[in-house]
Amino acid sequence: MRLTAGPEHAVDLDHVDLFDPELFALGDPHAIWNVMRTEAPLHHQVLPDGRAFWSVTRYEDVCRVLGDHRVFTSERGTVVTQLGHDDIASGLLMTSTDPPRHTEVRRSISGRLTARAVASWEDRIRRAIVGFLEPALDGGRWDLAEGAYRLPMIVAGALLGIPERDWDDLVRLTGMVTAPTDPEFRLGTQTATLTIAHHEIFQYLGEHIRQRRATGGEAESLFDHLMSAHAGRAPLNDEEIAYDAYSLLLGANATTPHTLSGTVLTLIERPEQFDKAQADPSLTPSLVEEGLRWTSAACNFMRYATADTRIGGGTVRAGDAVVAWIGSANRDESQFADPHEFDVTRGENRHVAFGFGPHYCIGAPLARMTARIFFEELFRMFSSVELDGEPQHLRSIFIAGMTHLPIVTRKRAKP
C-alpha cells in the first residue's frame, strides 16, 4: 500500500472497492479515505456476491467500534477476509472473544508481556537484530522486506519456546493467512490458501503442545505459561492454548516486519528525517511511534453490530459487519496535525496502530522494544540507506506491507 498519499483527486464513492487487494498492492487508498472521512464517514459497500459491510474512517468512530464490545462484537470474526462467515474460533481465539472471557484469558498471559517483563529480552533481541543487519554491511544489494519477515519470529519464536528449525515454516504459514491472494504466499485460491495454512499451523501447534506435555520445556517460555494459564477458575484446554499461541504468532509475524520495512522506505524517501533521527538518538522512540502511525500495518479490523447503532452520521443495523480502517484513523486531520507529513519529532502521537480498547495488542511492548532496538542498530551501523530497485507491496486488504524492498547501505565509519 502506498504510504505517502498521492495528489488529491475526485473519488466516486459509489464505485469505491475497499475489498480489492489490488488497491492496496498498487493503488492509493489514502486518497479514498481522505474523501470518505469528509463526505462519507459511514460508507456502505455491497460485494458482487451479496456480502456487504460498513466502513468507518474517522479516528473517533474507529475507536468507538474497537472500544465498545457490547455494541460491536468480535465473536463473529475480526478479519475482513472472513466477511460473511462466522469465525469457528469464536470463544477460543483471544481476538475472537469478547469480555469477560477475553479479559480472563488476556490477564493470564499479559504479565509476561509488560514493558518491564520484556525488558529482560533486550540483550537477546539486540544480538538478533545485529545479526539480521550484518548481511547489509558489505554494501551489496539486500532485500530488507524479504529478510524482515523472519525477524519477529527470532523474537516471538524464542519467547514461545518454538525450535528455530520451525521458524521459517511458521513465517510462511502466517504470511499465507494474512495475504492469501499475494503471489508470494498463494496456493491456488484464497480459500485453499487459508485452509492449508490454518490446518498446518494448528496441526503443528497441537503436536507441539503434546510434546511439551510429555517432555516438559523451558520454564520461562510463554508457551509453557499458556499451558498452565487459567481463564477464571478453569485451566486452558489444549485447543485454547493452540488458538492463543496462534494469535500471538500471527500478531508478531503479520505486523512488525511491515512496520520496520515501511518506516525504512519512508526514511529513504525523506533523507532529512533519516539524518535528523540518526543525529539525535533521543528521537528514536518518537520515530518508532511515527513509523507505527505512518505504516498502520494492521490497516483494519472488523466487528459486527449487536444492535441498531448510530455512528458516523448514519445507522448500522444489528448483525451488520463494520470495518474500522486504522490506516485512515491514523491520518485523521482532526487528531493529527499535518497527518500526511512524516515527522520524527512528532510529539503527542495517539495513534491506533496497535488497536484500541479491550483488544489492544498484547504484544505492543515487545513490538515497540524490537522496533526501537532495530533503529538504534540501523543508525549505529549505517550512514545511509538507499533504494536499489522498486519496492513490491503486499497484495492484502488486511495487512499494509511489502514483500520486497531492495536496498544498498553505506557502512558508518567508526568514531
**Model confidence at 217: pLDDT above 60:** no
Question: Parallel, antiparallel, or unpaired: how do β-strands 300-305 and 309-311 relate?
Answer: unpaired
Q: Read off the amino acid at residue 391.
A: P
Q: Work out the number of other CB atoms within 10 angstroms of the CB of residue 139.
A: 11
Q: Has residue 384 been placed in a domain?
A: yes
**Model confidence at 84: pLDDT above 90:** no
- In Å, how far from its chain's centre is CA 16? 24
What CA–CA distance (Å, rounded) separates 342 from 265?
12
Q: Work out the number of other CB atoms within 10 angstroms of the CB of residue 91.
A: 14
Helices (H), 28-178: 29-39, 59-67, 101-110, 115-118, 122-133, 144-148, 151-160, 167-178
Q: Has residue 96 been placed in a domain?
A: yes
What CA–CA distance (Å, rounded) separates 253 from 155?
10
Q: Has residue 124 been placed in a domain?
A: yes
Q: Please give the average per-residue pLDDT across 85-98, as a whole number.
A: 85
Domains in the chain: how many in total?
Answer: 1
Beta bridge partners of 73: 304
- pTM recorded for the entire structure: 0.94
Here the contacts of 331-336 (C-beta below 8 Å, separation 24 or greater) are: 331/5, 331/30, 331/33, 331/34, 332/37, 332/57, 332/58, 332/59, 333/37, 334/58, 334/59, 334/60, 335/59, 336/293
Question: Parallel, antiparallel, or unpaired: how do β-strands 321-325 and 52-56 relate?
Answer: parallel
Helices (H), 236-382: 238-269, 271-279, 284-295, 326-329, 364-381
CATH number at residue 265: 1.10.630.10
Top mean pLDDT of 77-91, 251-265, 303-317 is at 303-317
Q: Has residue 385 been placed in a domain?
A: yes
Q: What does the DSSP assignment read for 136-200?
A: GGG-S-EEHHHHHTTHHHHHHHHHHT--GGGHHHHHHHHHHHH-TTSTTT--SSHHHHHHHHHHH
What CA–CA distance (Å, rounded) separates 268 from 250?
28
pLDDT band at 220 (very low <50, low <70, confident <90, very high): low
Q: Has residue 190 been placed in a domain?
A: yes
The answer to whether 312 and 61 are in contact (CB under 8 A) is yes
What average pLDDT does the chain have?
Answer: 92
Three-state SS at 279: helix
pLDDT band at 8 (very low <50, low <70, confident <90, very high): confident
Share of the chain above pLDDT 70, in %: 99
pLDDT digits (tens, 9 = 90+) for 160-174: 888 889 999 999 999
The answer to whether 408 and 388 are in contact (CB under 8 A) is yes
What CA–CA distance (Å, rounded) separates 43 from 14?
9
Q: Has residue 4 been placed in a domain?
A: no
Q: Read off the amino acid at residue 141.
A: R
What CA–CA distance (Å, rounded) separates 255 from 292?
10
Three-state SS at 395: coil
**Model confidence at 216: pLDDT above 70:** no
Q: Nine-digit cell at 92?
A: 477460543
Q: Nine-digit cell at 53?
A: 459491510
The answer to whether 161 and 217 are in contact (CB under 8 A) is yes
Q: Has residue 3 been placed in a domain?
A: no
Q: Please give the average per-residue pLDDT across 378-406, as a whole number.
A: 95
Q: Has residue 2 been placed in a domain?
A: no
**Model confidence at 293: pLDDT above 90:** yes
Of 160 and 127, which is predicted with more confidence?
Answer: 127
Residue-number span of the structural domain to which 115 is assigned: 16-411
Of 255 and 33, which is predicted with more confidence?
Answer: 33
